[in-house]
Structure 1
């Protein structure tokens, strides 16, 4: 086992594969061919004297040895990046925090937290990126984000089976809500019974990597009529405003609803809880990450 000849390119490729979950996605992100990615992974596995990735039909998963290499590779690459920034006269990486966030967090929670942090800690630089839960969990493991803001639904299972276990902090837990056009009969009250949702037209989109339709009220005892499909939550809400159908929203999005949309509660069925959680690797946070975490806690709607 000899890592003295392992290149920084190989380390970066390995981290990208670990984060993206497939060789193909890593190649696309880096602008490499898939064969070039495979060669870099082969070189680092030769140096390790062990298989670092378990190849599966749905992508790759880190082996125990891979977790060790990734943890140390992330540390080395962060130090190199910090050195590069310092030599270029840019702010030190210690003043930067990298945040991943679930799609609808960008409508309300993220802007509020960044604005709050800018007022209290103007020297801290926040770099953020939107992503699905699986991709952000991999990014945490790969060390390319420091914190991940995630949405979670029952039964609130662990985010992954890797070690060490991610630390999760529930920022808020509220019931799922319903977005209806203001002119719709269901908009007359503050809530509706779940039975009144039968026969409605829905605006929905598939959850990343799942068959679940995000936007349809869970547990309906009928096959829903999907009038429009959209992944973007703002697009869904504007379609609701246009009278095109109904969609579900987290309570945190209520303040971002455009004119023409009413956000109401649903009762009469199982309680549909949703959590916003802050995830990170165990260990001490940097000062910048700790300040951002505080801003998220205090500004969660």
Structure 2
């Protein structure tokens, strides 16, 4: 399967338009049509209805595979470039909001003093973006955080051969507004809160689909969508009663109380993520290790 044809297919599927895909890719509309026809001929299946443009069942299935395939190809290219290129004069660290703590700033400052000719950049972003960025080479080192069972890895996208190591494990807590009836408890079971309203903040708090999987329960409806990466903003929403959130403990924010989850047993973990490392990036990665 030609990856160029696959990228064209993903673009058409995303825009639902051959002309919009052509404009985005810099091709003519005729060229886009020919590429889709060539891919369909190769696979022996119709992938797109033409008028209006919509995925067939076969196209929908291919789209499920396409993202991980294209990500792995980009990761392979970036990995080879890292191994064959000159040592980088810049190092970009990507971190999820709760992983980007005060210690991150201290480590960056210390490594910067040791290597003054290297430019270090810190980018706070979501979990999937950190993993994909490290895989494709836009980030040199990543720090990701999340809640999981003690024996399970953090759920990350399939981005190729990335090395991970655990840096920190803390208690996982549910963040309640101070006046909530459960705020006075010492611990609780996650399933007890399946009927509560939660804040949908996938890049900061535990995503709602993962909450359902951890609790082996339905529910966990969202009352407020928060696509940002500002932890203070999320905690302010909890304090205002917009919903609950599963976060690392302890929680220190006015009007918010954190109650530990003991059923199931959960931990909040921070992991270091990287591929092949340039010398400056290796120094930074080692500085984070316990």
TM-score by length of 1: 0.60
Match among 239, 242, 256 for residue 241 of structure 1: 239
Q: CA deviation at 1:121?
A: 5.1
The 8 Å contact of residues 95 and 124 in structure 1, kept in 2 or not, is answered as yes
1:136 partner SS: helix
Match among 34, 42, 48 for residue 24 of structure 2: 34
1:281 aligns with 2:275: yes
1:127 partner SS: strand
Written as runs of structure 1 = structure 2, the 5 A alignment for 1:255-274 is 257-267=252-262, 269-274=263-268
Q: How big is each residue's C-alpha offset from its partner over 1:237-288, in whole Å with a ceiling of 9 and x where there is no partner?
A: 101122333211123xx46x43221223122x11123322111114xx3342
Where in structure 1 are there 5+ consecutive unaligned residues?
1-13, 40-54, 80-92
In 2, distance between residues paired with 1:183 and 1:160? Answer: 37
* C-alpha distance 239-217 of structure 1, shift in aligned 2 (>3 A): farther
Where in structure 2 are there 5+ consecutive unaligned residues?
16-21, 32-58
Match among 117, 125, 136 for residue 119 of structure 2: 125
In 2, distance between residues paired with 1:151 and 1:197? Answer: 22
The 8 Å contact of residues 216 and 247 in structure 1, kept in 2 or not, is answered as no
Written as runs of structure 1 = structure 2, the 5 A alignment for 1:68-217 is 69-72=77-80, 94-106=88-100, 108=102, 110-118=104-112, 123-152=117-146, 153-154=148-149, 155-156=152-153, 159=156, 165-189=161-185, 191-194=186-189, 197=193, 199-206=195-202, 212-213=208-209
1:264 partner SS: strand
The 8 Å contact of residues 202 and 215 in structure 1, kept in 2 or not, is answered as no
Match among 57, 65, 71 for residue 63 of structure 2: 57
Aligned length: 241
Q: CA deviation at 1:109?
A: 5.0
In 2, distance between residues paired with 1:169 and 1:243? Answer: 36
